[in-house]
Structure formats: C-alpha cells, structure tokens
Amino acid sequence: MPPSRPDAILDLADSSPFPALYCPCLSNNPEDSMSDDYPNKKDDLAPSNRRMMAPKKQLFLWMILIFLAPAMIMLFRSDPGGRAVLLKQSQYEDFLRAGRIRSAVVEEQSSSNIQVLVGDYWPENVPVGSDEGLQRYRTKVVYTESFDKELRQYCQVREAKQANNLMTNILLSVLPILLLIGVFYFMFSRQMRSVNRGALQFGKSRAKMLNPAQEKITMKDVAGINEAKEEMQEIVEYLKDPHRFQRLGGRIPRGVLMVGPPGTGKTLLAKAIAGEADVPFFSISGSDFVEMFVGVGASRVRDMFEDGKKHAPCLIFIDEIDAVGRSRFSGIGGGHDEREQTLNALLVEMDGFEPNSGVIVLAATNRPDVLDPALLRPGRFDRQIAIDLPDLRGRFEILNIHAQKVKMDPDADLRVIARGTPGFSGADLANLLNEAALLATRTNKEMVGMIELEESRDKVRWGKERRSRKIDEKERRLTAYHEAGHALVSMLCEHCEPLHKVTIVPRGVAYLGATMQLPEEDRYTAAQSELLDMITMTMGGRVAEILVFKELTSGGAMDIRQATDIAKKMVCQWGMSEKMGPLNYIGREEHIFIGRDLTRSEDYSPETAREIDLEIRRIVETCEQRAMQLLSDNRQKLILLAETLLTRESLTGSEVYELLGMTMPPPQKPVDDLSQELGLDDVAPATRAPTSDAE
C-alpha cells in the first residue's frame, strides 16, 4: 500500500504519521509519478534571441557572396571593347577575303602562335564600305606567315598592337581567384574570432541578470511559508534602507540557504525577492559551474562575484547548490577534482581576505545533508531557512492564489480541498488546479466545480483511472475481495483514518485497485495503537485472499513491505517494543557517501539483530491474526462489499457505510468550523471562494 508520497508511511519520523493511504492490489512494482513556476515572457533583445538571429544573418551574407562571385568573374572576363561578335577563324578568313574586315588590331601573344584579333567588320547584310552597320568582332586565329600576308592584302586598316598586356591578362585571370580566396579568408577569420571569443568566454560567469521587463513576482504571490517570508523580508528591507540596520551595529547575513522538499516554493521565493528588491538580481544553477575542463568552474565563480561587486548592492541566487557544494570528504582517496576547486573558489569569494560587501548570496537545495560544513558556517551562509510542506492554512492560501487564474464555480469550496490534501506541496496544489481546469475543459464546462477538483485531487495523489485495461474475471474478483478486506478492516479499527473511496478500477501504472484514506487534519506524531491499527489494515487485503480463496497471491507484496517498514521503525527507532527497550537501532538516516560511509557498521551484536528480526515478525504476525479475526467475524459484510464492488467498481466512504449498515463516525472537525481555524472571518468572500470573474 504505497502512500501518496513515497516516504509518507515508510518514513513516518520525518513527516506526518497519518498520511493518506493508497492500497494497491496485485502490484509488485508500483511507481508513483507526480508532477512550479510561472512562465516568464522572453525579451526580444535577450541574448538567446540574438543568438537565434545570428545564423540567419550569416546565411544571408553567404547567399550574397555566392551570387557576387560569378558576377565579378563575368565582369573581369568581359570584352574590354564592348559588345563584340565572336568569330571563328574560318568565318573570319571568309570575311577577310571578301573585303568585309575594315580594321584589325593584333594582340601579340608571346607564349604561343595564337593571336587575338579585334576590330570592325561589315556583316553579310551590310554593304561593304557603308558607314552604318559596322560591328565589333573578336576572334582567335593561328597567326602564320600566310595568314599575315592575307591580312596585309585584304584588310583596309591593320594595326599590329605591341602593347604589353601581360599584366592585364594576369589580372583578368588571377583577380577572380584572389577575390574568392579573400571572401573565404574573411569568413574563416570571422569564424575563428568567434571561436576565440567562445574560448575566452568559456570561463566567464553564466549568471543571468533579471530583466526588469519580465513579469514580476512579489511576496503576494508566495503563500504557505509565512515564517520564511518574514525572514527573507528582512533582506529586502536592508537593501532598501541599509542604514536602518547599521544604526545599531547589525550586519545583514552574507548568505541565506533555503532548505526544503521539492516543490515547496524555494525558487519562487527567490523570484519574489528579486521582484521586491530594487537591486540587480543574478540567477544561476549549480550545474552551470561544473564543466569537463579543469578550472572553468572556479573561473566562473570568480567572474560571477566580480560582476556582483560591480553592481553592488546586489543579490546572487544559486539554485540547486548541492551540485557544486558537496562535501569534500566524500571521495575515495581524497581526490582534488574540478568540483572541489569550484567549491574552494566559492568559499573564498563568500568569506575570504577580500571584502565582499554588498553582495548577498541566496541558495536553494533539497539535500542539505550533502553540503560541505565549511559552506554552512556563519560568515558564508549565516541563515538557513527551512521551507517545509504547507499546513492546512498554507494549502488554502496556495489554492486561493492559483485559483485566481481559473474560472471557479461559486459553489466550489477550497476549504474542503485544502483539508483533503495533506502532504501536498505548492507544486502539487498548482498541478491539482491545472488538472481540474483541463478536466472541466475536456467535459465542455464553463467553470471548475467540486467534481473536477476532487477528481484531480485523486488523480494527482493516486494516478489516473485506467478503465481501458482489460482484466479477466478471476483477477477482477480477486482484486475486489482484496480491496474489500482493506476497507472493512479500516472501518473496524478504531484508530484508522477515515475511508475515502474503495475502487477496483486500475489507477496509475501498475495498480489494479485501491483503498483510499484521507486524514481530517495534519498529524505530526503517531501513537502505538494507531500504528498497530495501520499495520492491521495493511494486512487486511492479504488476509481476505486467504479467507475466501484459501491461497496466497503476489498482490500483497507492497502490503507486506509497508507493514514491515512500520514495524521496523516501531522496534528500532521509536522504542515501542518492550523486549528491545527504548533504544535506537537504526542510526543515521542519511544517504551513503561513497568512500565515507561504505564501511558503516551496525552498533549492535548479531544476537541483538536476531532479536530485532523476531520482534518485527511478532508485531506483523499479531496484526495479521487480528485482521483475520475481524474479517472472520464479519465475513458476510466482506462478501457483500466485494460483490458490490464487482458490480459498481467504485464506492465512496459514505456509500460503503450505508451498504454495510454501519454508522459513519462524525468528522472530528466540521467544514463549517474551518473558517475560524483558517482565520477567514476577515477575508472577503471572493478570496474565500473564487468566482468565475476571477482572472
């Protein structure tokens, strides 16, 4: 029975001990998929857009050069005398003997007997001797002694041009080639300069300065983390009026580290600070520092702080700082790699010999346990702000902010959704409203109502229904009794969470059925009796299979895993075993660092380990026997519920209580009383329940 969050049950010490439960059937490999920022408008003059325009300009230049080169060749190869008719030697000799060649200019060629003759002639349709109709000609002939005699005899005007045209011929032949070489050299040198600029810019900072023209996010757009907002507001006020804090000798923190699970609003809070503070704001990701070349990361860190000092006072935001700030003691052999150099440069720039006044560093991470201790000390990151999952009031405020962009039905009550979404992050709630809007659009509705909100909540928490999956009747019947066992045991146990829905419609990737429970309020601790009831309910599906079908299936694999994990924490971590006593047998709950924690050893003997295993087994088997007794005493109710599920496929909690003739326990806190708890007495109705006019 994996919960809505993968660690909601398996890690009860770190979160609420009463999360919403999800009981899958016939699944050995479940995978939960969960789907944070407002879209930013791109500036037309942004560097990225300029980079997109550069290839177009280069292509246009290349096209001009391609068309220009042949034109230049034709220009240099054209006849210097104008439009001349090209005559063959035989044709020219016929015109010569007929007396139609008026003039001939011989261009001597020193390297061969081939001569080029130019001049005027009378075409065949023009009378010889006419002043009109003369045309220019050009011809190449083999200049022999006999041809020379004929030329002297028949040509009226003959000129043996002795001009030295060697240079002209060379230029006419070589100049186009030189032109093409020059064009290619120009393009090649330009490309090389671009590459050199890239190489020179390789160690430059990739931090982007926030564009004031972009959509501003203010503190009003951040909800559910009021304490974090108050601490960050001090930085904004300091940047606006530094003398107010310096009057009493106070010093603003040089660095602020935001720590919290994914999707809780760390990056959004940094954007809100950038929108509130009227100072330059640089943003960069931790992965932008690390490259394959040695020294690049450290160079980028130094360049980033140099830019910050030029624009001081300013803010520098490093997102996912764990990519560059990991502990230097985690490597095998203590290697000095590129990441360590980058970290050393970051440590020196934040608090070194040179003053770094006016530059405040903001960072965000969801892995503070892997950060280097030198990075977390006062003087670098003076303040650590924990941003946890929102509580009931925080979830309601987040839903209100996102609902302002959605056309909401006036009857839709966000208080109910806020109460039914414990463990949801801000990103989950935003995704919930978005899924509800998409569902309403798909069904051609004008507004988003409660039906869409509840369906999207179930979809985000447990996955989308997959009614297209074909399941044979035997497996479908097995699933019905499995989920009926979970549901009935949860109703018979006093300390189980209220039943929300039971279904045999497949959801998500590998779930053939589910028993859903929703807590009525946020819980942070769990009693021993409540945990035992939880294990009993978890084993209810497996026990129902044994009771009805007299055999076991693989559908209870996740149930066994979940029950074992809870029992193990009861014995080894929470001291809920009389035999093992109030001792901690788990140790550190941290991720293993290669090289540092590979040799981690247990702090107890093998005999103690055996006793721990026996105690865990005893707790699970006792709860299983209790579930067997409850289902045996209520066998007819189990059969009735399972057969009804085979017919209707899905039943709500109230429908299950009505079907079995059982009294549904009253809610611990009615919905109408939530307004006082949420402090909504002074809130406008439009904020409490957004209408269709909200944009």
Residues with catalytic roles? 483
Beta carbons within 8 Å of 579's beta carbon, 6+ residues apart:
611, 615
Beta carbons within 8 Å of 517's beta carbon, 6+ residues apart:
20, 21, 490, 496, 497, 498, 499, 500
Q: Is the link from the previous residue into 313 a cis peptide, with omega within 30 of 0?
A: yes
385 beta partners: 258
540-549 helix and 528-538 helix, angle to the nearest 10 degrees: 40
CA distance 404 to 656: 36
The gap from C-alpha 391 to its chain's centroid, in whole angstroms, comes to: 26
Q: Where are the alpha helices (DSSP H) in 504-634?
A: 528-538, 540-549, 557-572, 606-633
408 beta partners: 448
- How far is CA 618 from each of CA 65, 419, 542, rounded to the nearest angstrom? 86, 36, 17
- How far is CA 204 from each of CA 54, 274, 299, 376, rounded to the nearest angstrom? 21, 23, 7, 26
CA distance 519 to 626: 23
CA distance 348 to 256: 16
User: How far apart are the two ends of the chain, measured CA to CA in Å?
Assistant: 40
Select from 494, 501, 627 the least CA-distant residue to 559: 627
- Residue 412: Cβ within 10 Å count: 22
Q: Is 300 helix (H, G, I), strand (E, B) or coil?
A: helix
CA distance 64 to 570: 78
- Residue 165: Cβ within 10 Å count: 17
Radius of gyration of the chain (CA): 42
SS3 content of the chain, % helix, strand, coil (to 5): 45, 10, 40
- How far is CA 422 from each of CA 293, 491, 506, rounded to the nearest angstrom? 46, 21, 23
606 beta partners: none
The gap from C-alpha 592 to its chain's centroid, in whole angstroms, comes to: 26
The 3-state secondary structure of 163-185 reads CCCHHHHHHHHHHHHHHHHHHHH
Q: Which residue has the tokens 């879209």?
A: 39
Select from 71, 80, 59 the least CA-distant residue to 179: 71
448 beta partners: 408
Q: Is 252 helix (H, G, I), strand (E, B) or coil?
A: coil
283 beta partners: 208, 317
Containing 288, the helix (H) or strand (E) segment is none
DSSP classification of residue 22: B
Beta carbons within 8 Å of 308's beta carbon, 6+ residues apart:
280, 282, 314, 316, 358, 359
CA distance 487 to 583: 34
Contact 258, 228 (CB under 8 A): yes
473-492 helix and 653-660 helix, angle to the nearest 10 degrees: 80
Q: Is 209 helix (H, G, I), strand (E, B) or coil?
A: strand
Contact 307, 283 (CB under 8 A): no
Residue type, 517: Q
